[in-house]
Structure 1
């Protein structure tokens, strides 16, 4: 193969125009430089590619054979360059996100809507899972970025905290009187409790807090979604552990009432995470940046 692809590019333009002079104008070169390039190519291939005539140049049979392949190859290269350019300008691309149901519904949706409005050509793929599953998705390459409950302890994952949340407790009408005062942890533990399943980071965070205080958890109900947790509380099946920021609709409608503890559970964060030492695609970087900008 010829090392200098510029020779093929010049050959392609000369072949299209059947003229050194017209090719020189199109390539912004001198006619002499174009002629020398073609002669060099002919020497390299040990083939005559053009017949020189008074009206210009005409491809030889060997030249016609080469032109069919070179024209096609250059076309493929140009398509590749155009696709790279489109990726850079977000005219095409793919964004794969790992996220849990609750964070997706109450936190991520506005970012997805804004991103899709700005870059409708970017394909979006959403893969649902717990924080542990999302980390596995990232490490296996199934998703580009995760949005999940922190903390994450993984040396291969880069984490950007983006949104602070507060774990709290709520109850329905039957527990309204408790909402009018503060409860000790001991009093809370005497109530029927509703929690997420213990495979979730949010559940483990609260459970670790109570365990450190000497109160191991034994919930009456362990459910798979935050919406179910809130609905169980609404119909007075117990006091539910929820994220205050994601329960505002229920609280504002007075479907449930917040129950305050004497000792407030420390806040925690939701964050964006992705593999360290891996270059982000333009689509992924733009999406991550959009969340980082909003957190400031």
Structure 2
């Protein structure tokens, strides 16, 4: 297995460079040695991994499938080796955090500031993705921890709750004057609704709950950010579904108004996630402790 691991490392470099010579240069090897290694790996696996082209090589379909898994595995190995070199007193190292735009702005910023002031030598890398994408890059080793909208069902992840949040509907002056009593979901569905994009975990949670009450909602406008939900509702383009805790500035200043609903949507949470199978770095442990000490 040790021999094959070396071959897999060479395989990944060739796949990334798409050229034997460039891969050899990156690996401090000779081009013939790289070519021989790939020939050996193809022979052992009894499958063709690369297609030769005038400019270099490209992965075959089988090669792409293998690369997806081997690259993730090597990333995790590299992370493990790097963590061993980190100082326990956090004088060096890196913390890679995956987070969504909304949570980053309305929840994470003060924690980042406090952590950076306390451990200035820890390099922070922030990756913004959707909740679904965050789970994927977390499992591939691209980030150490992810801060996501819950619920998430994934047996490979450890999930710890950081903050409860509430999904509400808000409107501007135009619709406020038209609504005189709490709305049922059926009545709500008759208004022009503004929701996040379908892949959003927040949108799926709200839709699933309302559907459980026998009502299917169809938005007239779909947006990619929480801030746009607030702004579109403010100019009376419809009724937006937003997170109450992240909309306080608009609500307190009467730029938007909460629409009362007969059956309130149950609260959910924001949580920090990490792989059960991988030990956390000292920086990750300290950051999670800070999140939980709120």
Normalised by the length of structure 2, the TM-score is 0.70
Unaligned runs of 5+ in 2: 1-82
Q: 1:158 to 1:177 in 2, by over 3 A?
A: same
Does structure 2 retain, via aligned residues, the 8 Å contact 1:179–1:257?
A: no
Per-residue Cα deviation, 1:120-149 (whole angstroms, up to 9, x for no partner): 110000111111000001000000000000
Does structure 2 retain, via aligned residues, the 8 Å contact 1:163–1:271?
A: yes
**Equivalent position of 1:121 in the other structure:** 121
Secondary structure in 2 matching 1:88: coil
Does structure 2 retain, via aligned residues, the 8 Å contact 1:179–1:258?
A: no
Does structure 2 retain, via aligned residues, the 8 Å contact 1:131–1:149?
A: yes
**Equivalent position of 2:104 in the other structure:** 104
Does 2:288 correspond to 1:283?
A: no
Q: 1:190 to 1:86 in 2, by over 3 A?
A: closer
In 2, distance between residues paired with 1:270 and 1:239? 24
**Equivalent position of 2:164 in the other structure:** 164
What is the RMSD of the two structures over their aligned residues, measured on CA atoms? 1.4
* Larger Rg computed on CA atoms: 1
Does structure 2 retain, via aligned residues, the 8 Å contact 1:87–1:283?
A: no
In 2, distance between residues paired with 1:125 and 1:157? 21
Q: After TM superposition, what 4+ stretches of structure 1 lie above 3 angstroms from structure 2?
A: 83-86
**Equivalent position of 1:131 in the other structure:** 131
In 2, distance between residues paired with 1:146 and 1:244? 22
Deviation at 1:85, TM superposition (A): 8.3
Deviation at 1:252, TM superposition (A): 1.1
**Equivalent position of 2:247 in the other structure:** 247
Secondary structure in 2 matching 1:182: coil
How many residue pairs are counted as aligned between the two chains?
A: 212
Deviation at 1:162, TM superposition (A): 1.1
User: Within 5 A, what are the aligned runs for 1:173-184?
Assistant: 173-178=173-178, 181-184=181-184
Secondary structure in 2 matching 1:91: coil
**Equivalent position of 2:192 in the other structure:** 192
Deviation at 1:177, TM superposition (A): 2.6
**Equivalent position of 2:38 in the other structure:** none
In 1, distance between residues paired with 2:84 and 2:140? 25
Q: 1:85 to 1:197 in 2, by over 3 A?
A: closer
Per-residue Cα deviation, 1:8-36 (whole angstroms, up to 9, x for no partner): xxxxxxxxxxxxxxxxxxxxxxxxxxxxx
**Equivalent position of 2:206 in the other structure:** 206
In 2, distance between residues paired with 1:179 and 1:257? 11
In 1, distance between residues paired with 2:119 and 2:157? 27
Deviation at 1:84, TM superposition (A): 6.8
Q: 1:179 to 1:94 in 2, by over 3 A?
A: farther
Normalised by the length of structure 1, the TM-score is 0.70
